[in-house]
Structures are given as C-alpha cells and as structure tokens.
C-alpha cells in the first residue's frame, strides 16, 4: 500500500494531499484490475496489455436450429427470444460445391440455449413458426456481469 501523503509545509507543496491520495488509490486499483472472457489481461516485463482471447472467434459463434421447446422447459417464448440447439455440418464430400447437410451437434457440451433475435428485439415480436427448424448463426456476447448471452439476426420466411 502506498503511504498517504501528508502536508509538510504550509502553502509550498506542489500538489495537494487530497490529489496525491486520489492518484495513489487509482494506481493501487490498477494493480487489482481483472477482466473476464472474451478479454484477457497479459502482464509481461514490458507492461500490461488487454486483448481478446486467442481463438475466441471460432468459439464465439455456432450454427443453431430454432426449436419450439428448450430442454425441460414449459414451452416457447412469446417475445424476441427463442430456444436454439447447436448444429454441425455433416458433409462427407470432398468438394465445397456440394450441398451442405446439417444435424444436431453430438459432442459433450453441445449448446441448447435461449437466443435473442435482434431483428425482432425492438418490437418484442415472435414471428418464427413454432418448431420450424430454421437454421441461424448464433453469436455469444457478454453482458456487464459478465454472463454469456446469445443473439442472432434473422427475419422469418413468409409463405403465402
């Protein structure tokens, strides 16, 4: 802890004691600075840097299917939120010109989460048909707590 500054000479100090003590608290606070994913704090002999975690981009988004009911949930939402289930590409062909095929992700830890459709956020609408099976790209973002939240942007398909 930095020793508090005390006024020694009346009127001759170049800095007020209150200003010195405020700066000391700021410096001490920086030594306790911490971050949460997707940020990382790297401390080296040259200094400290704040950056995104390596490889976060690939883990920050995934294919998902919109489903009517979540795991153990009573039912679908009535606003801009949807249950989504993580998907994977199942192609076995060698050419990128082949039609893609998609199925449920089968690895341990596959995500089944609530995601907010940003295209419906302002109106709070819920326009996708229940259990329609629409495939969307879901992005993981963090709020200020930091808790992971999931979002996507997609307009529903209108069929006449």
Which of the pair, 43 or 160, is modelled with greater confidence? 43
The pLDDT tens digits of the residues spanning 117-140 come to 998 998 888 887 665 688 999 998
Residue 16 lies in a domain: no
Stated as kind and residue range, the H or E segment containing 49 is strand 47-52
Residue 121 lies in a domain: yes
The pLDDT tens digits of the residues spanning 17-61 come to 788 788 878 777 776 777 666 666 677 777 777 766 554 444 578
Q: Quick one: what percent of the chain has pLDDT higher than 70?
A: 68
Residue 45 lies in a domain: no
pLDDT at 150: 92
pTM surpassing 0.75?
A: no
Average pLDDT over residues 54-78: 74
Residue 4 lies in a domain: no
Give the up-direction half-sphere exposure of residue 139: CA atoms within 13 A in the CB hemisphere. Answer: 11
Residue 151's pLDDT band (cuts 50, 70, 90): very high
Domain containing 116: what range? Answer: 56-152
Q: Quick one: what percent of the chain has pLDDT higher than 90?
A: 11
What domain count does the chain have? 1
Residue 31 lies in a domain: no
The least confident of 41-50, 81-90, 104-113, 146-155 is 41-50
- Output the CA angle 14-26-40, nearest 5 degrees: 145
Residue 134 lies in a domain: yes
Residue 40 lies in a domain: no
Say if CB 119 and CB 156 are below 8 A apart: no
């Amino acid at each position: 802890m930095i020793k508090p500054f005390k006024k020694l000479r009346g009127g001759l100090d170049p800095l007020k004691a209150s200003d010195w003590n405020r700066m000391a608290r700021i410096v001490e606070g920086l030594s306790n600075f911490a971050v949460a994913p997707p940020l990382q704090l790297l401390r080296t002999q040259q200094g400290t840097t704040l950056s995104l975690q390596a490889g976060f981009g690939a883990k920050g988004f995934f294919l998902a299917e919109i489903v009517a009911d979540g795991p153990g949930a009573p039912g679908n939402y009535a606003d801009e939120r949807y249950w989504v289930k993580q998907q994977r590409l199942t192609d076995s062909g060698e050419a990128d010109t082949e039609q893609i095929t998609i199925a449920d992700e089968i690895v341990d830890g596959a995500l089944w989460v609530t995601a907010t459709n940003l295209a419906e956020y302002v109106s709070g609408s819920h326009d996708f048909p229940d259990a329609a099976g629409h495939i969307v790209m879901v992005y993981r973002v963090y709020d200020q707590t930091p808790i992971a939240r999931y979002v996507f942007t997609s307009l529903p398909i209108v069929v006449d």
